[in-house]
């Protein structure tokens, strides 16, 4: 086994010793910021009181709202003049959240990202096309700096412009890409229109992230492109991409525990859930100097995988994301994650690349309607056959969801397409929902 960084070979004991040491330093650093000085005091928490990793449960949480309240810079633990980069959320749903980085922070982030890419099998000899939007969004520059650090020939393609993406992929014999899953599916349709088989490219490896997607979609992408697709997890509050990544086992994402402290808690109570159970991921930066963030409630639902990983790395793995706490739909009193619906649909060969979940209210009753794109070869004239397919999809969804959705079959390309993150849920129930 080859590793990029000696940190990957640490034992459990070494990781935990390092984590405790870095957690204590991080808390001390955080306390220098106006926000944490006040927050820790208000919660009667003394950073110096943390003596073991078990003490982490006594540290107060940080929420998205705290980040918003700290706008623009109350979480800075060092002078603004020491910062060299800023990333911000779009703020479309309120005040933006802003994360600052010093040069050391950027170096650390780039090396974590390079470590992820190396683990997925990329090397300095690879040609890597980054299809993320650049700018304030962390996916672009985050992946870019990692790819350059690793020494790949990095093509900063940015988002959109599918014909150009395909020209670059072809002409420069690109071997690795970073792409969001819905765009990868969309792009496969453009390849089909151009009459190019994506398997004829030099592509070996795709890094896939930025939106939740299912194992079934991954297998589809791997088949369409003739590649290995590796899941990536990151969030701007923890820098961006490079937080957790799949190794070549493709079974769960290793969290870099020398850089982040990960916990999984019950989203309702904030108490830790037993290892292996589903809960909300809570993350702490270990080593970010400019703007440490402590016990951040990510709202992302996942679980720790408990078995040792055959790759030899002991950094703990999290399961693929099950969506966000906030994504959970409640229909007829039943909790539903959109990912459950995607999992069912993508396992059926008749189903195309796209679907849309519509929540409706019929009088006092909530209904769930799923519009499902059907592959051309199954979109036959015979209404009886289509009717049978519709019933089969509805039955499988009912088995998974425990409520019966209305299923509507639609032709290819009839659902609204997007080059960015796909819209998968349309809630038509109005404000009362």
Question: Degrees (nearest 5) of the Cα angle 77, 80, 83?
Answer: 90
Please, what is the minimum distance in Å from the beta carbon of residue 354 to a copy of itself? 26
Q: Does 296 bind a copy of itself (CB under 8 A)?
A: no
In a 3-state reduction of DSSP, which class is residue 285?
strand
Binding residue for a copy of itself, selected from 136, 325, 328, 358, defined by CB under 8 A:
136
Residue 168 or 347 with smaller CB distance to a copy of itself: 168
Binding residue for a copy of itself (CB under 8 A) from 63, 65, 103, 414?
A: 103
194 part of the interface to a copy of itself, by CB under 8 A: no
When asked if residue 87 is in the footprint of a copy of itself (CB under 8 A), the reply is: yes
The gap from C-alpha 72 to its chain's centroid, in whole angstroms, comes to: 25
CB of 155 to a copy of itself, least distance (A): 5
Closest to a copy of itself by CB, 103 or 423 = 103
141 scored as a contact of a copy of itself (CB under 8 A)? yes
**Cα separation, 184 vs 162, whole angstroms:** 10
Under a CB-based contact definition with an 8 Å cutoff, are residues 99 and 239 in contact? Answer: yes
> Looking at beta carbons only, is 158 or 272 nearer to a copy of itself?
158
- The 10 Å CB-count burial string (b at 16+, else e) for 87-98 is bbbeeeeebbbb
Shortest gap between Cβ of 86 and a copy of itself (angstroms)? 5
DSSP-derived 3-state class of residue 373: strand
Q: Which stretch binds a copy of itself (CB under 8 A): 141-149, 256-264, 316-324, 410-418?
A: 141-149
| DSSP line for 142-192 | HHHHHHHHHT-EEE---S--HHHHHHHHHHTT--EEEE-HHHHHHHHHHHH
Which is nearer to a copy of itself, 99 or 407 (by Cβ)? 99
3-class DSSP assignment, residue 68: helix
Give the count of beta carbons closer than 10 Å to the beta carbon of residue 383.
8
The answer to whether residues 347 and 216 touch, using CB atoms and an 8 Å cutoff, is yes
Q: Examine residue 93 and tell whether it contacts a copy of itself (CB under 8 A).
A: no
Question: Can you read off the two tokens belonging to residue 241?
Answer: 């991409």
CB of 430 to a copy of itself, least distance (A): 28
- Of the listed pieces 113-121, 166-174, 248-256, 325-333, which binds a copy of itself according to CB under 8 A? 166-174
Binding to a copy of itself by CB under 8 A, coded x per residue (else -) over 143-162, reads -x---x--xxxxxxxx----
Q: DSSP per residue over 192-235, as a string?
A: HHHT--GGGS---EEEE-SS---HHHHHHHHHHHTSEEEEEEEE
CB of 167 to a copy of itself, least distance (A): 8
Is 388 in a helix, a strand, or coil?
A: helix
Binding status of residue 270 toward a copy of itself by CB under 8 A:
no
Are the beta carbons of 371 and 413 closer than 8 angstroms? no
Supply the minimum distance, in Å, between the C-beta of residue 291 and a copy of itself.
12
Question: How does strand 425-427 pair with strand 351-362?
Answer: parallel
Q: Is 269 in the site for a copy of itself (CB under 8 A)?
A: no
User: According to the binding rule CB under 8 A, does residue 59 interact with a copy of itself?
Assistant: no
Among 17, 38, 124, 219, binds a copy of itself (CB under 8 A): 124
421 is a site residue for a copy of itself (CB under 8 A): no
- Residues near a copy of itself (CB under 8 A): 71-72, 80-81, 83-88, 90-91, 100, 103, 106, 124-125, 127, 134-136, 140-141, 144, 148, 151-158, 164, 167-168, 171-172
């Amino acid at each position: 086994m080859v590793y990029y960084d000696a940190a990957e070979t640490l034992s459990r004991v070494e990781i935990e010793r390092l984590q405790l040491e870095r957690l204590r330093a991080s808390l001390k650093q955080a306390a220098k910021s106006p926000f944490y000085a006040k927050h820790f005091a208000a919660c009667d928490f003394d950073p110096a009181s943390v003596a073991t990793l078990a003490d982490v449960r006594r540290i107060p949480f940080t929420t998205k709202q705290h980040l918003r309240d700290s706008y623009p810079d109350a979480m800075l633990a060092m002078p603004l003049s020491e910062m060299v980069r800023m990333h911000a959320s779009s703020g479309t749903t309120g005040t933006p959240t802003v994360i600052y980085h010093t040069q050391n922070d950027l170096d650390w982030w780039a090396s974590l990202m390079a470590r992820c890419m190396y683990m997925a099998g990329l090397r300095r000899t690879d040609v890597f096309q980054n299809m993320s939007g650049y700018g304030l969004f962390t996916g672009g520059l985050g992946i870019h700096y990692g790819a350059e650090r690793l020494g790949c020939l990095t093509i900063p393609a940015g988002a959109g412009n599918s014909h150009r993406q395909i020209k670059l992929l072809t002409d420069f014999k690109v071997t690795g890409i970073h792409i969001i899953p819905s765009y990868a599916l969309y792009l496969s349709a453009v390849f089909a229109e151009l009459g190019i088989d994506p398997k004829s490219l030099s592509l070996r490896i795709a890094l896939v992230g930025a939106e939740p997607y299912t194992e079934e979609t991954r297998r589809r992408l791997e088949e369409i492109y003739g590649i290995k697709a590796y899941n990536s997890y990151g969030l701007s509050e923890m820098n961006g991409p490079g937080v957790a990544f799949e190794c070549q086992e493709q079974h769960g994402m290793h969290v870099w525990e020398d850089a982040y402290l990960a916990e999984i808690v019950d989203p309702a109570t904030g108490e830790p859930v037993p290892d292996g159970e589903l809960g909300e991921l809570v993350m702490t930066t270990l080593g970010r100097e400019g703007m440490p963030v402590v016990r951040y409630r990510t709202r992302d639902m996942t679980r720790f995988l408990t078995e040792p990983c055959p790759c030899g790395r002991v950094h703990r793995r999290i399961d693929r994301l099950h969506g966000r706490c906030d994504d959970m739909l409640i229909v007829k009193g039943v909790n539903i994650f959109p990912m459950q619906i995607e999992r069912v649909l993508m396992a059926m060969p008749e189903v195309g690349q796209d679907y849309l979940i519509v929540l409706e209210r019929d009088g006092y009753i909530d209904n769930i309607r799923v519009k499902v794109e059907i592959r051309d070869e199954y979109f036959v004239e015979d209404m009886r056959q289509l009717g049978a397919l519709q019933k089969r999809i509805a039955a499988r969804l009912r088995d998974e969801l425990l409520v019966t959705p209305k299923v509507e079959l639609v032709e290819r390309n009839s659902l609204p397409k997007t080059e960015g993150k796909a819209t998968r849920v349309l809630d038509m129930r109005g404000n009362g929902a």
